[in-house]
Structure 1
Amino acid sequence: MYNTKRGLKISSVAQSHFLFIIMILFVMFIVGCQTNQSSYQKVESADQLKTALAVANPGDTIVLANGEWKDAELVIQANGTKEAPIVVMAEKLGEVKLTGSSNLKLAGEFVVVNGLHFTKGYTPTAEVISFRIKKDQLANNCRITETLIDNYSNPERHESDYWVGMYGKNNRFDHNALVGKGNKGVTMAVRLNSEESLENGHLIDHNYFGPRENLGANGGETLRIGTSHYSLSFSNTQVINNYFDRCDGEHEIISNKSCGNLFKGNVFEECVGTLTFRHGNENTAESNAFFGNGKPHTGGIRVINEKQKVINNYGYGLTGHRFRGALVVMNGVPNSPINRYNQVIDSEINNNTFINCDYVQLCAGSDEERSAIPQTTSISNNIFWNEAKDDVFTVYDDISGISFDANILSKNIESIGSGFSAVNTELVQNEKGIYSLKDESITAGTTSEFAVVSKEATGPSWYTKPKQAKTFGYGRTIAVAAGEDLFDVMKDAKAGDVYTLSGDEYLLEKKIPVAVPITVQSKEGAVIKFEKSNLFVIENGGALQLDGLIIDGAECPDYAGNAVVSTSRYSMNRNYKLFINNCEFRDLDVNHSFNILKVYKNTFADSILIENSRFTDVSGTILELNQESDDIGIYNAEFVILTNNTFKNIGKEIVNLHRGGSDESTFGPLLFIDHCSFEKVGYGPKNKGEKSFTLHGVQKTKITNSVFDDIKTFDIYHTVGEPITKISDCSMKQSTLKISDQAALLSNLKLAKDANGSDGEKVGYKL
């Protein structure tokens, strides 16, 4: 045999060896093809999944059978390849329901998890989904997609856990939904607590971060990247095209605590809080949209630390102030410890647009500690437009370290110096609802190509996102005759039901549990008496509206500590509402300390509204909201609103509202009183503090058009933050007002003479 190209002769022996090698290679090819052939296997339990993973090869698919997987702790350890990942997926997306004490731990290389649904339970460990099994078993190049975690919250409100913890490198979390976290702890966290998780290059994209209620404490962030301990390390995480919908957990919707991260193309819809560069340097917020739509306390971007970039973002209808402003540039702490506030240096805030946003806060947080003003930072080519508000800018300290250039204002806004130009033009709105200036010669603000992700493009394809639902009045209307037992009628209550009572008398022998939002009303003034210590008990998930009722305490047990309404004695991880309108409360004095509302620790009212109502002869407190006494920034209610009510002969306080500690991660509580009258308050024999109101750490108090006649000390004690107390157009007779500092704004406050002829100041008015 000859090689025709080279003319070399091959012996017969060599020829045989050559043919043998060809045969061996052919056999190896066939075996290799069989070995690498993808397999499909269906499993029905965590144990079967473990067995299947033990023999899984790159390209294999393991299918989890539809149905309920109760108390299923899934552990996925596998190694695929970039071209042939190992896939673990639901038989039908969303139909594998992990309930009870279930969770997922993932480690290895190139694994994809698809289509799970966590519901009706909570994780037995620190995380629902973890991109690691143990500290030394991390996930790299792995992906979780099309997965939902829905109200999967620990029942203990302040028992902390994460829903998602990302570790390792180059992982992707996309097209998932995280909705309704009710207990303490970050919804999703990128962890940098080992060398193997630094400079991770994770991608978090196209996820739907659904509503999260106000936690009323620190620890309610929706997304956190890093911690203060690792804040000077680079994470290099990309957060792109996600939708944050009503994420109200605390001040920081996103808490950035590391370096080199990118936040781009995300939407924040009616979120109470900000995207916060809390720690770390060289981070970028680019082309994000913040739609406040006038909702109270909605915010934009808060800047701290060095070399941050805020570019081409859009804010609309943001109302938050102080740390929740549309744009907040903080003061720092000189030589700051790693967990405090580093000075803003070499940062850029350029080409952003803020439409109808109320507050831009510069040098925010300035105090004796936070005295390091921003340096070598530019704010240029931005649009600040609000025709309804002149004082958009608040300057707390020296802004000489900030350069301002080519910024555009609506003609009414008060400028803070050079670098701002007021223009006379109009707003125009495009088909996607984004406003810009009609004058096309103006080049400031977001680019003409500005676009962000739609809500429909985020989250699992199979998941229907929650709408903004009413709290009360959308269910059945049920008439209850006088002879019927209200307890029996209401035991099968559905959310939104309305119970209508006649004008007769109703006597309750049992407490009525309120586990869903309900309304109890009477157009004819029904009288309700009750024989237990409480009339209504608001349980987790409940909310109560009372309208047109007369609540009479004549039949209540002769014991101390009765209450018309009580919260659950147990921790509630859902916030409640209590609305009272046009009601009368009388003869609640069978024994001392008979309250209108009694709350327990680890419960939280989103809002308490009392209007057009009358309270007479109540031996206890109207609203006792002081059970979070650990002084760590936790409190019992956010909004407390009293409008057009009368209070007479009340034994203890009208409101006892407490928020202690020095934490600044929350905004409330807030108290508003308007057109109310208070007569003879605080004279009960068990009112040892001799107070008519006790407001400790309330962040905003506004009292207007009200009369205070013969009340014990009205005690206002300011603590952390920048508390605001405004009292205007009020009259005080034989009454004492005590405020702990000079922060109160008092206007047209009339201090009438008492019966002995001394003036109001001598009676005890103090600042």
Structure 2
Amino acid sequence: MNHILVSRLNILGVALLLFFSSSAFATLVSNIEAFNQAVETAKPGDTITLANGEWTNVELVFKGEGTESKPITLNAQTPGEVIITGQSNLSLSGKYLVVDGLVFTRGHTPTGEVIAFKTSPTELASYSRLTNVVIDDFSHPERELSDLWLAIYGKHNRIDHNSFINKRNRGVTVAVRMNSKESRENHHVIEYNYFGPRQVLGANGGETLRIGTSHFSREYANTLVQYNYFDRTSGEHEIISNKSSGNTFLGNVFFEAQGTLTMRHGHYTRVENNYFLGNRKPNTGGIRIINEHQTVKNNYLYGLTGRRFRGALVIMNGVPNSPPNRYDPVIESVMNNNIVIDSDYIQLGAGADEERSAPPKSSEMQNNIILGKYNDTPITVFDDVSGINFKGNVLTQTSENPIGKGFATAPYKVTKNEYGLMTPEQSLIDGIDFGEIKLPVTKDKVGAPYYDKKDGKVAFGSGKEIAVRQGIDTLANALENSKPGDTLVLENGGEYLLTRFANINHPVTVMAKPGAKPVIRSEKPSFIVIRNGGALTLNNLWFDGAASPDYKGNSIIRTSRSSMNINYSLLVDNVKVTHLNINGYFYFFKAYPGTFADEIVIANSDMNNITGAILSLNKETEDLGVYSVENLTIEGNTFTDVKEEVVTVYRGGFDESTFGPMVSVKGNTLQNVGKGKTHRTGASMYFHGVQNLHIDDTTLTDSAPISLYLTNGEPITVIENVSHHNTPKIRANNEEYSVENVSYQ
């Protein structure tokens, strides 16, 4: 071999040695011990890969110092196939770290955070990235216990293409934390994430995204939130709670979300080119301005029905010399060039009261297009708005205008464009230089690409129809063997005896075909128990209490006594109820604390001889704005000889983060209701703190009075077409309710 060839081989060998000695390592780990060891030795450019499978009860601590060109990566062997369950979490600290492709589900964090960009109060993560990660129903089983799914500390972190779905307990889904100097002026970027459905919490603490807290609200975060999709994020009325200064919200989409993007604290916020698609769903909202130097421009708002703080566009009153945790007045802020279609409420000076007495000043509301066909009084003025300069706005010509100046009118001419969005005439759009009406981001472009975004909620009647023969425990057995969405059909005129609880663990329907009602009796204190995950429809049935034990507090239906972190529904139609008189307190339905119903309906039913109440919804008594049901409908029923109330609903306290319950009582007949000797409220129907109550076309005979306790939040209470026969007048703590065609005989 000649010396030239030898020399070249030596050079090649040295080069290969240098290459392998400096190259990055990829380490596949299959347990927590191997993971910890890999983290200890990780160097810039290295990758730690979690093996596919289920990782249960693991607390992953990921520390490292990567570089911009050579980050240290923690990823899944296959994105979506590393499933982290049980009591698990992830914390990271250092610089230039990447977390990619993990799924957290079927569990909850043992601490206060599922993923935290810190490993200790002084060890934070900066210049790091969380991408393609899923957190789905990783919720504490006790709904009232609070935790954060993602807590972002440090600076210059990027959160992108993640999916956050079905947070069911109290606590913010994603929070930017600013409780140290190292986490302020952070310049985080939160983009292309899918914020999936979040059920109504029925309490404060259900925000989807929060940046800062009131304590640090006048500090600058400078966080950018762009091109995210908020899909039915309805935890509470603040979908986004901005509580710091200098943040930007650009090009996000809010789909049928019950709440608003709220500038709760902080100044110099920019809200631009966001799309709010309410589609006329209840309580859907838009944008709320509080504080100074806020900019709201070129946003599209369609089909929003929310009122008060959930209005489409809201400018608040403030508190003079406000402390950080209250409401700074709106000063030098703009609400310009927005398009508002078929949205019911624009609120100016909202929240005005003795404390919030400072109206907006040095502000603008200009070049907005406001067209609607559902509400002819879309603009509500609560205080002096002379501090807002109105100019160039367009209002539907049939709408009332309490402002007068600064508004032209136009006919309601709205069409659906090629993108399926309702659009005013092009000349109006051109007049405000809005540009093309088109979603800035679509649902398929956000979130972890490997993870399904389908609605996980099972509809009643979507499963099999199963015949259930009469007999002992045949119904309980059929329920135990049923699948979500199934319909159990009982025999007409059949007799069903329960010797054990009939448990409802998923959505199910129990019914009989038209004809004679089957009779259901029980030897247990409760016939039916709705467990976590359960929901129930009942139709054409007869419940009789003759076989029930002599226990105080019996019930036909109740919730679990344990906290339920999944909201339930109860729909009752054409049901007969008799002989709930074995003792002094026999109820049709009882909801226990820590449970929450999206909807309860009692319709077209006949219930008599009952020693308790029909609906007991009064167990949330801590007076923190917590309540038991969001939507309650009682329609077309006859209630006879009921010792307690037809319904008792309680929402106590003065918290403004919740806007329920909403109650409709229509077409009912009450005979000898609410007059039991041990009855505490002395009412036939008792409503405490209900935010929207409508009683219509109802007759009360020989009954106790309707009792109202009206609290904060400008509740809407309308009572009309109600006849009282030998029944006392309506009892209320104040006169701030509407009465029309109410008679006493």
**Normalised-by-shorter TM-score class:** over 0.9
Q: Hey, what's the Cα distance between the residues in 2 that align with 1:308 and 1:434?
A: 27
Q: Does 1:413 align with 2:399?
A: yes
Q: What displacement does 1:717 show?
A: 0.4
- After superposition, the Cα gap between the structure-2 partners of 1:591 and 1:445, relative to the gap in structure 1 and judged at 3 Å, is farther
Distance 2:426 2:214 in 1: 45
Matched, 1:728 2:717: no
1:591 alignment partner in structure 2: 583
In structure 1, distance between residues paired with 2:438 and 2:158:
25
Structure 2 residue aligned with 1:15: none
2:744 pairs with 745, 748, 751, which one?
A: 751
Cα deviations across residues 365-415 of structure 1 (Å, max 9, x unaligned)?
Answer: 111111100001100011000023211111111111111110111221112
1:708 is aligned, of 690, 700, 704, to: 700
**Does the residue aligned with 2:717 lie in a helix, a strand or coil?**
strand
d(CA) in 2 for partners of 1:32 and 1:261? 46
* Residue 251 of structure 2, aligned match among 265, 278, 281: 265
Secondary structure of the residue aligned to 2:702 is: strand
- 2:419, 2:438 within 8 Å by CA — same for their partners in 1? no
Shift of residue 27 of structure 1? Answer: 11
- Are residues 1:134 and 2:124 paired? no
| TM-score (structure 1 length as normaliser) | 0.93
* Post-superposition offset of 1:28: 10
Q: Structure 2 stretches of 5 or more lacking a match?
A: 1-10
44-53 vs 586-595, which moves further: 44-53
CA distance change for structure 1 residues 618 and 716 in 2, over 3 Å: closer, same or farther?
A: same
Q: TM-score, normalised by structure 2?
A: 0.96
Matched residue type, 1:738:
R
Structure-1 residue corresponding to 2:483: 494
Alpha-carbon deviation of 1:741? Answer: 1.2
Shift of 1:455: 0.2
Q: Is the 8 A contact 1:287 1:450 kept in 2?
A: no
Provide Cα deviations, 1:309-347, integer angstroms capped at 9, x if missing partner: 001100110000001000111000111111011100000
What aligned pairs does 1:535-546 form with structure 2 within 5 A after superposition? 535-546=527-538
1:610 equivalent in structure 2: 602
Which of the residues 149, 171, 178 maps onto 2:157? 171
Q: Which residue in 2 is equivalent to 1:422?
A: 409
Matches within 5 A, 1:615-764: 615-736=607-728, 737-752=730-745
Cα contact 2:458–2:484 (8 A) shared by 1: no
SS at match of 1:456: helix
Equivalent position to 1:313, from 299, 321, 339: 299
Give yes or no for the alignment of 1:122 onto 2:108.
yes
Q: Which amino acid aligns with 1:444?
A: I
Report the structure number with the largest CA radius of gyration: 1
SS at match of 1:486: helix
Contact 1:314 1:446 in 2 (8 A): no
Give the secondary structure class of the aligned counterpart of 2:477. Answer: helix
Counterpart selection for 1:256 from 239, 242, 246? 242
CA contact under 8 A between 2:423 and 2:437: conserved in structure 1?
A: no
Name the amino acid aligned to 2:568: Y
Aligned partner of 1:6 in structure 2 is none
SS in 2 for 1:358: coil
Helix, strand or coil at the partner of 2:481: coil
**Correspondence list, 1:423-572, <5 A:** 423-424=410-411, 426-440=413-427, 442-444=430-432, 446-448=434-436, 450-467=438-455, 469-483=457-471, 485-503=474-492, 504-523=494-513, 524=515, 525-572=517-564
One-letter amino acid matched to 2:88: S
Give the whole-Å Cα distance in 2 for the aligned partners of 1:333 and 1:714.
Answer: 37
Q: What secondary structure is seen at the aligned counterpart in 1 of 2:63?
A: strand
2:433 & 2:483 partners in 1: Cα distance?
A: 49
- 1:728 Cα deviation (Å)? 0.7
Counterpart selection for 1:194 from 156, 165, 180: 180
The residue that corresponds to 1:230 in the other structure is: 216
Q: 1:384 aligns with which of 358, 370, 375?
A: 370
1:42 counterpart = 2:31: no
Aligned to 1:17: none
Residue pair 2:485, 2:508 contacting (<8 A) in 1 also: yes
Identity of aligned residues (%): 46
Partners in 2 of 1:223 and 1:533 — Cα distance?
43
Give, as a single letter, the amino acid of the residue that structure 2 aligns with 1:428: T
Cα gap change, 1:303 to 1:496, in 2 (>3 Å): same
Q: 1:597 and 1:265 mapped to 2: Cα distance?
A: 45
1:62 deviates by 1.4
Go from structure 1 to structure 2 and tell me whether the alpha carbon gap of 1:98 and 1:210 turns closer, same or farther (over 3 Å shift).
Answer: same
Secondary structure, in 3 states, of the residue corresponding to 1:535?
strand
Per-residue displacement from partner, 1:452-475 (whole Å, max 9, x unpaired)? 100000000101102374531101
Partner residue, 2:5: none
Deviations 1:196-244 (A, max 9, x none): 0000000100000010111100000000000000000000001100000
CA contact (8 A) 2:253 2:439 kept: no
Q: C-alpha distance in 1, partners of 2:499/2:721?
A: 45
Cα deviation, residue 94, structure 1:
0.7
The Cα shift of 1:424 comes to 3.3
1:417-471 Cα shifts (integer Å, max 9, x gaps): 1111112362233222233322426512732265410000000010110237453
The answer as to whether partners of 1:360 and 1:392 remain within 8 angstroms in 2 is yes
What is the Cα deviation at residue 30 of structure 1? 7.6
CA distance in 1, matches of 2:62, 2:457: 38
Contact 1:100–1:122 (8 Å) recurs in 2: yes
Number of equivalent positions: 729
Q: Which SS does the other structure have where 1:705 is aligned? A: strand
CA distance in 2, matches of 1:419, 1:398: 16
- In 2, Cα distance between equivalents of 1:692 and 1:607: 22
Match of 1:498, as an amino acid?
A: T
2:4: which partner in 1?
A: none
Q: Paired residue for 1:336, among 322, 331, 345?
A: 322
135-144 or 428-437, which moves further after superposition? 428-437
CA distance in 1, matches of 2:276, 2:49: 39
What is the CA deviation profile of residues 45-102 of structure 1, one whole-angstrom value per residue up to 9, with x for unaligned ones?
Answer: 1221121122222111111100000001110001111111111110000100001011
The corresponding residue for 1:7 is: none
Counterpart residue number, 1:580: 572
* In 1: Cα distance, 2:399 partner to 2:185 partner: 43
Amino acid at match of 1:516: H
| Distance 1:236-1:208 versus aligned 2 partners, 3 A rule | same
Deviation, 1:729, is: 1.1
Q: Which residue of 2 aligns with 1:14?
A: none
Q: Tell me by how many angstroms 1:26 deviates.
A: 12
User: Hey, what's the Cα distance between the residues in 2 that align with 1:339 and 1:136?
Assistant: 26
Deviation at residue 693 of structure 1 after TM alignment:
1.8
Q: 1:763 maps to which residue? A: none
* Local SS of the residue matching 2:577: strand
Matched letter for residue 665 of structure 2:
I
SS at match of 2:588: strand
